[in-house]
Structure 1
């Protein structure tokens, strides 16, 4: 059975800005629905982000930091938001260096993912870093974290116990574990 291609496009009638912050903004759009009706959509606008998978001798570089929205410490791969017009590959290398101290010779895009497309336009670009060299971390002044490396078993345990629960890190761990067993990156 062939899938029918229907046009479910919602056309914007109006946009009302609600909040403008340092990182995100919130707007409410009135949209025209495909059936002729109208609806409102609450939309979080975000500049986008990068995240980095970095393997050091068969261990995955991660950082642990407090995440206020969850009110707890989280283990995540190094990541951060894009600064206006910044090249994502360069941002990935920058975030890796700032959060872990590691510099890399190159980054390769693994995947770009929409984090919550039901209400936000944020896209995270996940890179694989290669040619790693250790150095000194230099996190942002309001960023408090510790960097360390996990074995595949430790990463699986961190997922099982909820220490790793964010989508980008879950995707990264599964892609990294696949790479370790098959020699290919994939999601």
Structure 2
């Protein structure tokens, strides 16, 4: 086993042996991405296959922030056959910059216009099958400049839903938000906010 160390690591972390790709095998393609069922070799040397999905474009998720708290959109998600409360997300188009894609997805799905768009980090939505990361952005919005939402043809969304920081823990405990991308983005944004607050106050989080 190898180890990973870094300036932010409290201790060395063991890294398991890799699963090695022998042959890339594409089994399906469309305009969004490619599904692979690669021939691989396990750490033991045993042969096998591993399924992975590779998006054609970079993924983005945007956390809209305003005086009322966080804005989410209720989207009907076909795979689960139900509505899901989520942050706006999607992907870049052509040579579009990541921040521009985040602002566009926000405007299309909610009608909210961003005043500022700041990067907050990267998440992996499902490391078991999704190859590409998702870039997280925070967008400050002014509801007075909101436009009409312009979702894509295969998107079914409602008006933005606002949740205050005070109500958010209750919403989470009640299971009102179950989207993994949204939960991960929220955790990252709140952690970054807490870290910045500690730096400004001169305290150190444990």
TM-score grouping bracket, smaller chain normalisation:
0.7 to 0.9
1:73 equivalenced with 2:86 (yes/no): no
CA contact (8 A) 1:102 1:134 kept: yes
Coordinate RMSD, CA, aligned: 2.9
Task: State the partner residue of 1:167.
Answer: 180
Task: Tell me which moved more, 81-90 or 58-67.
Answer: 81-90
Query: What is the distance in 1 between the residues matched to 2:77 and 2:193?
Result: 29
Q: Say which SS state the counterpart of residue 36 (structure 1) adopts.
A: coil
Q: Say which SS state the counterpart of residue 105 (structure 1) adopts.
A: strand
Task: State the partner residue of 1:115.
Answer: 125
Q: Say which SS state the counterpart of residue 163 (structure 1) adopts.
A: coil
Q: Once superposed, which parts of structure 1, at least 4 consecutive aligned residues long, lie more than 6 Å away?
A: 4-7, 179-183
1:52 equivalenced with 2:52 (yes/no): no
Task: State the partner residue of 2:41.
Answer: 32
CA contact (8 A) 1:73 1:163 kept: no
Q: Say which SS state the counterpart of residue 153 (structure 2) adopts.
A: coil
Q: Say which SS state the counterpart of residue 159 (structure 1) adopts.
A: helix
Tell me the matched-pair count: 185
- Cα deviation digits, residues 115-167 of structure 1 (max 9, x gap): 11122213211101135442222211222211221122443333223221112
Q: How does 1:87-98 map to 2 (within 5 A)?
A: 87-98=97-108
Query: What is the distance in 2 between the residues matched to 1:68 and 1:74?
Result: 10
Task: State the partner residue of 2:8.
Answer: none
Q: With the length of structure 1 as denominator, give the TM-score of the two structures.
A: 0.82
CA positional deviation for 1:54: 1.3
Query: What is the distance in 2 between the residues matched to 1:22 and 1:184?
Result: 42
Give the direction of change, closer, same or farther, for the CA distance of 1:122–1:161 in structure 2 (3 Å limit): farther
User: For structure 2, which runs of at least 5 residues remain unmatched after alignment?
Assistant: 1-10, 199-206
CA contact (8 A) 1:53 1:61 kept: yes
Task: State the partner residue of 2:109.
Answer: 99
CA contact (8 A) 1:27 1:42 kept: yes
